[in-house]
């Protein structure tokens, strides 16, 4: 396959940046999208040109660091797929592909396709944990949890914090990410101890980082590589209202 690429190049946060055209030649349909970019970078290196900077780590669809907007869609056209797991067989010979970084106020561009997503880490640091003293390790069945609650908690815990929801949202909202982190702890008895404080401090951290609010566009759900549902945002709102109502 031969492809025409328009890739966002930006030397640093203060640079204006622009799209530059490249050609990817003799690309195997079995390559992943990142492997295709590796091939392009090898060619650029041989020509003495600066390779395209992009983020990656596990390349197994787990870490979420391969954050790219492909033809206007975070993570590309394949549903429930990260960029590293997107294969070139989903494109056709001669296709033109536009590749850009996440676009959000809270995700400043570091270089080319790499953005600073540490704002999500700070939301987690604000309260995405439990601090109950467990003593000795209890038996697995010592704390009984309804199956429906356990399954819902695990569904929420699937969030890998990639930020695709933010990139897709016209408001740059991190509500789906925050809702998933709040819900997966709020559904379990270990997380109920700090539930009221957690939802408040994480929501406040989200707003402090410059993320927008949810206005029910559902774009976040459609691009989430792990299929996190917007119903978790409703759970976040309920938890927040309960925490406010419980205050004296």
pLDDT, one tens digit per residue, over 60-85 is 999 999 999 999 999 999 999 999 99
Distance, in Å, from the CA atom of 110 to the CA atom of 79, rounded to the nearest integer, reads: 27
Top pLDDT among 134 and 163 is at 163
Same domain, 53 and 138: no
Question: Domain check: are 122 and 221 in the same one?
Answer: yes
Confidence of residue 248 (pLDDT cuts 50, 70, 90): low
Task: Please report the beta strands in the chain, taking only residues with DSSP state E, as ranges in sequence order.
Answer: 3-9, 18-24, 69-70, 73-74, 96-100, 109-111, 114-115
For residue 205, give its domain range. Answer: 117-246
Q: Which of 214, 130, 151, 208 is nearest to 177 (CA)?
A: 214
- pLDDT for residue 140: 66
pTM: 0.92
Q: The domain that contains 139 carries what CATH number?
A: 1.10.1060.10
* Whether residue 179 is found in the same domain as residue 238: yes
175 vs 162: CA distance, rounded Å: 13
Averaged confidence pLDDT in the chain: 94
Mean pLDDT of 145-149: 92
Structural domain count of the chain: 2
Residue 246 has pLDDT above 90, yes or no: no
Q: What is the pLDDT of residues 108-128, one digit of tens each?
A: 999 999 999 999 999 999 998
Write down which residue in 81, 110, 139 finishes a domain. 110
């Amino acid at each position: 396959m031969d492809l025409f690429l328009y890739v966002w190049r930006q030397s640093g946060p203060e640079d204006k940046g622009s799209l530059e055209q490249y050609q990817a030649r003799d690309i195997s349909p079995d390559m992943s999208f990142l492997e295709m970019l590796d091939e392009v970078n090898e060619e650029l290196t041989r020509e003495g040109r600066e390779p395209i900077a992009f983020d990656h780590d596990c390349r197994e669809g787990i870490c979420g660091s391969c954050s790219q907007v492909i033809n206007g869609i975070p993570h590309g056209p394949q549903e429930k797929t990260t960029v590293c797991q997107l294969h070139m067989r989903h494109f056709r010979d001669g296709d033109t592909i536009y590749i850009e970084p996440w676009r959000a106020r809270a995700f400043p561009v570091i270089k080319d396709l790499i953005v600073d997503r540490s704002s999500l880490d700070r939301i987690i640091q604000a309260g995405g944990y439990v601090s109950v003293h467990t003593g000795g390790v209890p038996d697995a069945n010592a704390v009984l949890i309804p199956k429906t609650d356990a399954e819902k908690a695990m569904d929420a815990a699937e969030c890998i914090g990639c930020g695709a929801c933010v990139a897709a949202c016209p408001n740059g909202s991190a509500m789906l990410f925050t809702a998933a982190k709040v819900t997966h702890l709020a559904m379990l008895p270990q997380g109920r101890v700090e539930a009221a404080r957690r939802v408040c401090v994480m929501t406040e951290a989200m707003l402090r980082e410059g993320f927008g609010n949810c206005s029910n566009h559902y774009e976040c759900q459609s691009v989430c590589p792990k299929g996190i549902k917007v119903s978790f945002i409703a759970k976040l709102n309920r938890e927040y209202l309960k925490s406010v109502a419980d205050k004296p």
